[in-house]
Amino acid sequence: MNGTTEIVEIKDFTTVNPATGETIKEYRYQTNDEVEASIQRCHKAFLNWRHESLSNRAEIMEAIGKGLKKNKEELAQLMTDEMGKLLSQSHQEVGLCAAICDYTAKVGKEELEDEERLLSNGGRGIITYSPIGIVYGIQPWNYPAYQVVRYAIASLMAGNGVVLKHASNVTGTGKLLEKIFLESGLPENLFTVLIIDHDQRSDFDGKFRCW
């Protein structure tokens, strides 16, 4: 029988509470095939999202802000458990993230409207702002919600898809944000969290507009 069999090594890791040393949760790194499939699903969602009206996008950004406030206690506690900041600081961070959503929903809609300009020959031209595709964010652990929201919300409002590779010790925060975004009405797969290690990251960096 001819053919070859590819052996895929499955690697796991755990998130640990730095204050207590207790295990929070165990995760499995995605295989390269799984990552590729996740990227393709995000791209497919983007192809529809890019045609969504600014008004509809703004409504969903505002809804995400409300979703963050609704899940404030759970999200703040998880951030504190995963990376050790004071719970009061985690609460403040969630509030800041919700404010970013509200601001983006209001100002983003205005800033992204088509602009009509007078041309030197007396004619008129239109400047329009088009999405660029999937925006890839590689984010650190120090502000596990803010670092994500600051780029993801603006990118989504502009009509793009978003892929996140978060610091491994705050993987749970990334996944909870993904859940909140989806429950707030964002199309499925438009915001996607990849669970990959540093070696895998370099394999996929060239596929995105990186942040």
Tens digits of residue pLDDT in 135-174: 999 999 999 999 999 999 999 999 999 999 999 999 999 9
Show the CA angle centred on residue 100, arms to residues 184 and 210, nearest 5°: 90
79-98 pLDDT tens trace: 999 999 999 999 999 999 99
DSSP readout, 5-73?
-------EEEEE-TTT--EEEEEEPPPHHHHHHHHHHHHHHHHHHTTS-HHHHHHHHHHHHHHHHHTHH
Q: What is the predicted pLDDT for the residue at 25?
A: 94
What is the C-alpha separation between 96 and 84, in angstroms, rounded?
A: 19
Residue 109 confidence class, pLDDT cut points 50, 70, 90? confident
User: Cβ atoms within 10 A of the Cβ of 168, count?
Assistant: 17
Element (H, E) at 185: none
Which residues are 25's β-sheet partners?
Answer: 15
Residue of 16 and 118 predicted with greater confidence: 16
What is the C-alpha separation between 108 and 60, in angstroms, rounded?
A: 12
- Asked if pLDDT for residue 8 goes beyond 70, the answer is no
Q: CA dist 109 to 150, 151, 182, Å?
A: 16, 16, 21
Q: How far is CA 139 from the centre of its chain?
A: 10
With CA atoms as reference, report the closest residue to 136 among 75, 191, 56. Answer: 191
Mean pLDDT (the chain) is 89
Integer distance in angstroms from the first to the last C-alpha of the chain?
A: 47
Q: Provide CATH code, domain 12-210.
A: 3.40.605.10
Q: What is the predicted pLDDT for the residue at 194?
A: 96
With beta carbons less than 8 A apart as the criterion, state whether 87 and 77 touch. yes
